[in-house]
Each structure stands twice: as C-alpha cells, then as structure tokens.
C-alpha cells in the first residue's frame, strides 16, 4: 500500500517530505513484529501512527490498547501492565490480569515511555526479550505474545546518559525509530489542516466554514504552534464557533492565539532597529544574555583587583573608609554633624603612618587569567545536595526537607549524580 492510500484511509492531511517519509517507514515496518519507537513533540499525532502500524499488521484482528505511562501512578503501573495476585498489596482484594495478558496476540501502544519508572522498565525489557512476565505478588512466569509500539516526546538517548532510562531498553525499543515532524517543520501543511478542521467543525455546528485573508494566512504560517496539530485543531474550533465574520483577518486571528506563544514568533527587524530588539527575540536569548553579563561583571571585578595589586597607588582611597578617619573628617556645628568638605573622598590622603593603608605587593603579577565558572544547572544541583547532606550529617529526611524536595526524590538524585552519603 502506497503512502497516498494510507493518507486517504486514515485521513492524514499533508504533503511534506518529512511526513511522507515517516508514513513510508510505518508502512514498511507494519508487516513485521519488530518493536517501534515513535518520536515527536506532543500533539503531532504519534498515536495515529501506532494505529496505522497495527491496522496494517498481521495482528489487526486482535486487540489494540493505548497506555499513557505518564498518567499511571508509579505505585500501580506494574499492576496495570502485568497484573497482580490477591493480597499482593493493600487494596488487592482479587487477582487481576494486566494489559500484557489481556492483549495477548495483539498490540500495546506505550505512550510517553520516558515517564515509565526504572523498575517497570526492567520488567518490560524481559517481555521484549523473552515474552515473559510475572504478576505482582506472584512467582509464576507467564508467557505473552504482544507487539510493543512506544512513543515519546523526550530524547530518550539523553535520558540514558543521566540514568533516567535504561540503555538496553532504549536500543531494544528503537529497533525501528519513526520521527514524526513538528507542525512548524511542515508549514506547507498548515493551511490544508486548518481548512480541513474548519470544514469539519462547520458541519458539526451547522455553520459556514470560515476563511482567512492573506494577512491572516501569513500569520498562521509564522505562528510557532508549540502544541502542533492538536493546538491548530483547537484554534480552528474556537474560530469556527466564536468568529462573527466569515472572513477572518489577522487582527481577528490574534485574538485566538495565546499571547505567550505570540511573543515567541519571529520578528522582522527594521534596518534602523537597535540590537537590543534582536537580543531579546526569545526567552532563551534573554537567559543567555543574563549569564554572559554576570560573567562579564565577575571578570571586571577580577581585573580591578589585579590592577590594584599591580598599582598600589590605586588602593590609597581605601583608607578613606577607615572608621577613625571618617570620624575625623567630620566636625560639630551646633546640634548637627556636618561633613568637613565635599572633596574629602576625592583628594589623596596625606595622613600619618598610623593611618597608612596596608598595600598588597606582588611584583610577579603581570597578567591575569579569566576563569570560566560552570553555569551547568545539574552541577549546581549536585553541589546543593552535597551541602545539605553535610549540614544535616547525612540525614536524608532533614536534607530533603531543607532542599524542598521529597525524600524519595533526594534518593533518586543521589543515584543520578552518584553521590556517596
């Protein structure tokens, strides 16, 4: 089956090369039993790809179930996936089959796989490698024949490097990776999708489909669409219901676009515009500028200190702030204490040796070196955890309370950063 037939059958809108490639891979891998990892931002339609793979596979007449790993509490996800025995934990009044048992012979779609706890990841790896699992509270090994399709909006390879995701499971799942492009990376499809959505909503609400003028269409293309297709569909529904005019202008469209995301839209700077507007094009650049300014200030302070070491005469003004000298520079006039002269702190001090400042001399200092300070957030977090543990003499509960996190989170961070208590 070719890509265009797949689009027609599953109502896939778009003609971008990236989308066509992703669909082509899905069609090719569907007839196999290989595990598939679908990667893409939230709202791009990863579940639709899992449905396509299942519908074109030899398991299409068997069960299909989608499980959001991020929506199931950590304490119950093992029971949901693998089942449990009666009395295995509080509230387990009866035995229960898990998804891998009920969907035997079919396909299970594990959405947001990056949120799965490490313990559950080990159980899942066993299923993928040997087709075996054990219910919670049982010692009996059971067999299952389930195809696993996983999806994530995270970079799992990065998660494997900091211990949040098992490396062996990552490579086992990503036998065939499919990357679904973000909406902003296939802008040519945005007008087509919008038109499809407004026609569908017009039929649902018994209205006339709205249309965009040229300026509104350009605004639609420039908008970043952080929520991807899901966000575009929501905006199309809002306009279809709330728009008073059939032709929507750019000003009308702006009323439906979130202000927060509008601020992240690209800005076409005028040739006479200052570099300030370019520097603040988005929040990330603002943060970078803040860090660089902080580093610049620290460097300037280092330069000033080293200049004082190389030229002691610059340090003589420091004597002006000696407590006794300041008091001597004031005199009484009636009931008031008045400064003796305005230029007290502008003229060199010519006092006795009793008030001479202590000068630092080092004839060997001729140059300075700028030391790059680490701005890595993980390094700072690790440093704070170590300080908290030292402060509370290794007591995790007190250290976690001081850091404002749970003891369980602290334990995970100790493992993540390999901190010896």
Q: What single string gives the DSSP state of each residue in 96-111?
A: B--HHHHTTTSEEEEE
pLDDT tens, residue by residue, 250-264? 999 999 998 766 655
Continuous segment of H or E residues that includes residue 339: strand 336-339
Does 348 score more than 80 pLDDT? no
* Contacting residues for 59 by C-beta, under 8 A, at least 6 apart: 105, 106, 107, 147
- CATH assignment of 377-417, given 1.20.120, 1.10.10, 3.40.50, 1.10.287? 1.10.10
Q: Which helix (H) or strand (E) holds 8?
A: helix 3-10
Is residue 342 within 8 Å of residue 329, measured between CB atoms? no
Q: CATH number for the 3-181 domain, one of 3.40.50.720, 3.40.50.150, 3.30.360.10, 3.40.50.300? A: 3.40.50.300
Which pLDDT belongs to residue 288?
A: 54
Please, are residues 114 and 154 in contact by the beta-carbon 8 Å criterion?
yes
Closest listed residue to residue 254, CA positions, set 280, 216, 197: 216
Name, of 49-63, 256-270, 354-368, the range with top average pLDDT. 49-63
Query: Is 332 a residue whose pLDDT tops 70?
Result: no
Write the pLDDT tens digit of every residue in 206-237.
999 999 999 999 999 999 999 999 999 999 99
Gap between the Cα atoms of 128 and 150, Å rounded: 12
Q: Domain segments of the chain: what residues?
A: 3-181, 185-262, 286-355, 377-417
Give the residue, 322 or 132, on which the prediction is more confident. Answer: 132
Looking at the domain 185-262, which fold is it?
Helicase, Ruva Protein; domain 3 (1.10.8)
Res. 340 pLDDT band, cuts 50 70 90: very low
* Residue 177 vs residue 419, higher pLDDT: 177
- What's the CA gap between 109 and 334, in Å, rounded? 88
Residue 326 has pLDDT above 60, yes or no: no
Q: Which of 107-121, 140-154, 303-317, 355-369 has the lowest mean pLDDT?
A: 355-369
Choose between 172 and 376: higher pLDDT.
Answer: 172
**Is the CA virtual torsion 255, 256, 261, 264 positive or negative?**
negative
Sign of the torsion formed by the C-alpha atoms of 23, 25, 28 and 29: negative
Q: In a 3-state reduction of DSSP, which class is residue 51?
A: helix
Q: What is the pLDDT of residue 333?
A: 42
pLDDT of residue 139: 92
Window from 120-129, 245-254, 301-310 with minimum mean pLDDT: 301-310
C-alpha–C-alpha distance, residues 176 and 36, integer Å: 5
The rounded Cα 346 to chain-centroid distance in angstroms is 53
Q: What's the chain's average pLDDT? A: 81
Tell me if the pTM is above 0.85.
no
Confidence of residue 321 (pLDDT cuts 50, 70, 90): very low
Per-residue pLDDT band for 273 (boundaries 50, 70, 90) equals very low
- The C-alpha atoms of residue 21 and residue 3 are separated, in whole angstroms, by 9
Token duo for residue 346:
């502008």
pLDDT value at 335 more than 70: no
Between 291 and 33, whose confidence is greater? 33
Q: Is the pLDDT of residue 49 over 50?
A: yes
pLDDT over 60 at 269, yes or no: no
Q: Do domains 3-181 and 185-262 have the same CATH topology?
A: no
Residue that wins the pLDDT comparison between 403 and 122: 122
């Amino acid at each position: 089956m070719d890509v265009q037939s797949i689009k027609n059958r599953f109502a896939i809108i778009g003609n971008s090369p990236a989308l066509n490639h992703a669909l082509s891979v899905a069609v090719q891998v569907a007839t196999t039993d290989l595990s598939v990892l679908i990667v893409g931002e939230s709202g791009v339609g990863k579940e639709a790809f899992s449905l396509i793979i299942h519908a074109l596979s030899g398991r299409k007449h068997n069960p299909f179930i989608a499980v959001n790993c991020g929506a199931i509490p950590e304490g119950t996800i093992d029971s949901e996936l693998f089942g449990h025995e009666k009395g295995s934990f509080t509230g387990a009044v009866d035995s229960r089959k898990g998804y891998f048992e009920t969907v035997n012979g079919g396909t299970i779609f594990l959405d947001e796989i990056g949120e799965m706890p490490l313990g559950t990841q080990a159980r899942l790896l066993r299923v993928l490698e040997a087709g075996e699992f054990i219910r919670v509270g049982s010692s009996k090994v059971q067999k299952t024949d389930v195809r696993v399709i996983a999806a994530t909006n995270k970079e799992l390879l990065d998660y494997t490097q900091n211990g949040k995701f098992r490396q062996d499971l990552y490579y086992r799942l990503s036998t065939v990776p499919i990357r679904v492009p973000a909406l902003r990376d296939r802008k040519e499809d945005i007008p087509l999708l919008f038109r499809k959505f407004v026609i569908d909503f017009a039929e649902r609400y018994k209205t006339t489909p709205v249309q965009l003028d040229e300026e509104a269409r350009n605004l639609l293309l420039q908008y970043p669409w952080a929520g991807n297709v899901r966000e575009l569909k929501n905006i199309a529904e809002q306009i279809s219901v709330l728009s008073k005019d059939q032709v929507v202008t750019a000003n009308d469209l702006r009323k439906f676009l979130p202000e927060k995301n509008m601020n992240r839209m690209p800005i076409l700077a005028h040739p006479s515009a200052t570099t300030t507007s370019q520097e603040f094009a988005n929040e990330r650049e603002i943060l970078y500028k803040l860090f660089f300014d902080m580093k610049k200030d620290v460097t300037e302070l280092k330069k000033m200190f080293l200049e004082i070491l190389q030229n002691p005469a610059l340090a003589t003004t420091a004597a002006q702030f000696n407590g006794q000298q300041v008091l001597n520079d004031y005199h009484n006039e009636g009931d008031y204490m008045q400064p003796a002269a305005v230029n007290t702190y502008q003229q060199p001090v010519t006092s006795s040796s009793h008030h001479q400042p202590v000068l630092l001399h080092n004839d060997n200092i001729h140059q300075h070196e700028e030391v790059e300070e680490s701005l890595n957030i993980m390094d700072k977090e690790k440093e704070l955890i170590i300080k908290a543990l030292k402060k509370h003499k290794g007591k995790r509960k007190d250290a976690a309370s001081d850091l404002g996190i749970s003891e369980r989170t602290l334990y995970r961070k100790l493992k993540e950063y390999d901190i010896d208590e």
